[in-house]
Structure 1
């Protein structure tokens, strides 16, 4: 620091000395080190105290990012938890969106074969790919000369930067139904407000293109229980969760209020009500319009007292929001915070 910088005593809130000698400077330095050590030990002690009040309820088994809404998920071994969802390198969860010429979102409800399209990142390029189709490379950063389009996701307006003619032609050619375009959400754009989609969210909870929440959690036990009732088994990717938990009881996630994974704190908001999209086979892109939705309806409907909130849709998985950011990894223990 130059001569114009504030003195160490001033920064520590002590009276300034006219010309401190080397002994004074050394003493102040030792005091600062001691204070830092006390603070560090205090933080460690506080963390240990917190952990004594925690109950491990499971382990992170899988992490999934779905870069393009309704398209194929990308499994990752670690991800940063941000207020607007998981991030791994240049991939963000549901930060890309397929739209029609009117700017309305297009999902696997209308175009089931969207689930066969993947967006991955390799080095300095993004890659659009699908079976029996030539890959398309896209720049990591969408050119700022590309148009910013007004889009609509579940009736709410949101912007997206057009990913260009090549991407539009690639998706249109693959789906072979009508002209579509690919857009990308950028951090400076105004996000959607989860509270406007579902009242249970806070006015401060924000999302790009997900339906309602930045995090969807599902347990392996719940999926196994569903599959025990089905003739044709389904995968977790039928339900597009971000975090899959192992080592817990069936539907344990229904009762979790606050979770701690590493330094990441997540708070449960509401159950995820399920629609016809769950009947799209993630491997074939074929929509059955029946299972597993019909089976879920037979045993996973809400309590009559909550019918106004959920209607007649079955519940499977839980929506969470971020309380404290950080990074989570596959294999991390999942703790339930004491109430």
Structure 2
């Protein structure tokens, strides 16, 4: 056998002597196939995937307080747990009752009027006809850590203090409440325990099930064309609103790319009575736009185990690749 053949066999861990010539040729052939396969896979991984522009980022919104007012931002970091802008994190603050159960606009519609914003290391709670309350973004470590329940799953939250509790309780004027903050070292909730369409690795803090909700302007416009009284995107609390696409195009977007960010669609968002709360007044109608959505946005009967009889509007996504996105960025459908 020649030197080249001996070298190739040696790379494969095979002895160069003591074997018939035909076996050496076969081994060389196998080596060539193996090396060719590696080269093909490397070339394929380097080959750019097909990108088809499907729209443009029209709005980005962070909801720091679960069921609180959204905070529009022009740019945001996409993390595994949702949008982030400075100290603002999506659904990292939560109102709980004395038993530790979450309090949302489903039970307290006026919660939608509460704004939570951050400026440096200061946190500000504000609402109409109520004096603002400033607090430190990071609650003192001496504050109690509560065991809370969000949609039946246990999760911790650091108490934001007595002043915050009194402010929230006074504004809602119904039951004693406390404000808690999720800290990065705390145990997350597993999304798959809420909806089995999620991966075992998908996790959230105080979000219902998913860190990202995507909605298109065209879908909202189609809904408003059927309503006597128009509603806003705020009724549905999306994180990313897309313009420049057809209505309900988001239902078929399996994987999106915005700059370096990649998002994977998991399932549709089933809508509840919270959508009937007017985000400007905090008044719940219990009817629209939910009743109209039920007339044309129910799931396929085969999917009733997953969605029940709730209408679908918007899509849940999880993060595949992190990065920063801005309003005005093109949105691409990622293909192979």
Residues 170-196 of structure 1: CA deviation (Å, up to 9, x unaligned):
000001111000000000000000000
Distance in 2, matches of 1:220 and 1:171, equals 33
1:155 maps to 2:152? yes
Task: Provide TM-score, normalisation by structure 2.
Answer: 0.86
Distance 2:121 2:306 in 1: 44
Quick one: distance in 2 between partners of 1:86 and 1:228? 30
Q: Aligned residue for 2:48?
A: 50
Alignment of 1:220 with 2:217, yes or no, is yes
Instruction: Provide the secondary structure at the position in 1 that maps to 2:117.
Output: strand
Partner in structure 2 of residue 309 of structure 1: 306
Distance in 2, Cα, partners of 1:267 & 1:203: 15
- Pairing 1:1-339 to 2, within 5 Å after superposition: 49-50=47-48, 53-339=50-336
CA-based RMSD: 1.4
Where does the alignment leave 5 or more consecutive residues of structure 1 unmatched?
1-44
1:304 deviates by 1.0
In 1, the alpha carbon distance for the partners of 2:186 and 2:119 equals 25
Query: What's the TM-score once normalised by structure 1's chain length?
Result: 0.85
Aligned length: 294
The whole-number CA distance in structure 2 between the counterparts of 1:120 and 1:276 is 26
Paired residue secondary structure (1:50): coil
The DSSP-based 3-state class of the residue aligned with 2:207 is coil
**In 1, Cα distance between the equivalents of 2:111 and 2:82?**
21
Deviation at 1:50, TM superposition (A): 2.2
Question: Retained in 1: the 8 A contact 2:87–2:120?
Answer: no
Distance of 1:177 and 1:140 partners within structure 2: 26
Unpaired runs of 5+ in structure 2? 1-43
Q: Find the residue that maps to 1:143 and give its secondary structure.
A: coil
